Structure 1
Amino acid sequence: MQVIEATTVIHAPIARCFELSLSIDLEAEAGRPQRLRAIRGRTCGIIGPEEQVTWRTKQFGIWVTHTSVISQYRPHEFFEDSMVRGVFRFFRHQHTFRALADGATEMRDYLTFAMPYGPFGLVLEKRFVRKRMEDLLEVRNALIKRTAEADGRRQYP
């Protein structure tokens, strides 16, 4: 099982950061290099509690789908998306938000996943999948930060 943790400080209100983290459109833009698209469930706008989205992407030359649900939701503090169906044996992404004294927001990601296929899956996790997930998370968080700090010039529903 792999665990990826990331912390991003964003100079924007907590509500804005929280909402942008739930944006299907922003996630799709961050995943554009992997041809990530929402194809079922909530496919645009802001995903909410107990809603599902099915993503389609090309990984290592193969089209794969991943369906997740917003399984926990506390406005402006925390949400969790968990895999319903997909290529992983296990997948959970927890998002935590904390207002800082200067009006900024600390956004923390805690992503846990595991591949099936026993020892072969463990090799895939460590050598390939982890790096892809880290890269996607880094691009996504940088886009959230840029968008949130842009004073509304760039909008996502």
Structure 2
Amino acid sequence: MAIINLNTRINAPKQIVFDLARNIDVHQNSASKTNEKAIAGTTSGLINLNEFVTWKGKHFGLYLTHTSRITKMELYDFFVDEMESGNFRSFIHEHSFIEMNGETIMIDNLVYKTPFGVFGKLFDKLFLKKHMTNFLINRNQILKAVAENH
């Protein structure tokens, strides 16, 4: 099991950051390096509780699909997306938002398991965890820029 925890400070109100974090269009813009597109489910605008989105993007030279559903949501405080189908054994991404002194701290807690036993663990250690971390950091920096210029 791999765990990625990130905290991103954003100079914007929590409600704006929360809505941008679940905005399909903003995600597509932030994932342009992997050419990620929403191809099924909620494919634009805000994704809500019990809705799903299927993404198709290029990672490690391969076009992969990943379907996640929003399984928990408390408006402006947190939401959770969980993989329904894709290339992981499991994938749960918790998004939390705390407002302090006019600033929002966006917290990503991503927990995933790779398939293929020891080979999957080795791939994760050598490549995947760094790739996923950089993907989230890039996404968060774009989300931060959009929120702070909102």
Q: What is the aligned partner in structure 2 of residue 48 from structure 1?
A: 48
What's the secondary structure of 1:137's corresponding residue?
Answer: helix
Q: What is the aligned partner in structure 1 of residue 5 from structure 2?
A: 5
TM-score w.r.t. structure 1 length?
0.93
Distance apart, 1:131 and its partner CA = 1.2
Alignment of 1:1-157 (within 5 A): 1-100=1-100, 102-150=101-149, 152=150
What's the secondary structure of 1:145's corresponding residue?
Answer: helix
Distance apart, 1:89 and its partner CA = 0.3
Distance apart, 1:68 and its partner CA = 0.1
CA contact (8 A) 1:52 1:70 kept: yes
Letter in 1 for 2:29: E
Show CA shifts across 1:115-152 (max 9, x none).
100000101111111111111100111111111110x2
**RMSD, matched Cα:** 0.8
Letter in 1 for 2:7: T
Aligned residues: 150
Could you tell me how far apart the structure 2 residues matched to 1:60 and 1:94 are?
A: 24
Could you tell me how far apart the structure 2 residues matched to 1:26 and 1:146 are?
A: 11
Distance apart, 1:61 and its partner CA = 2.0
Q: Which runs of 5+ in 1 are unaligned?
A: 153-157
CA contact (8 A) 1:114 1:125 kept: no
Q: Which runs of 5+ in 2 are unaligned?
A: none
Show CA shifts across 1:70-116 (max 9, x none).
0100000010000000000010000011110x211111000011110
- The percentage of aligned residue pairs carrying the same residue is 39
Letter in 2 for 1:114: K
Could you tell me how far apart the structure 2 residues matched to 1:120 and 1:136 are?
A: 22
TM-score w.r.t. structure 2 length?
0.97
Structure 1 runs (4+) deviating above 2 angstroms are none
Q: What is the aligned partner in structure 2 of residue 155 from structure 1?
A: none
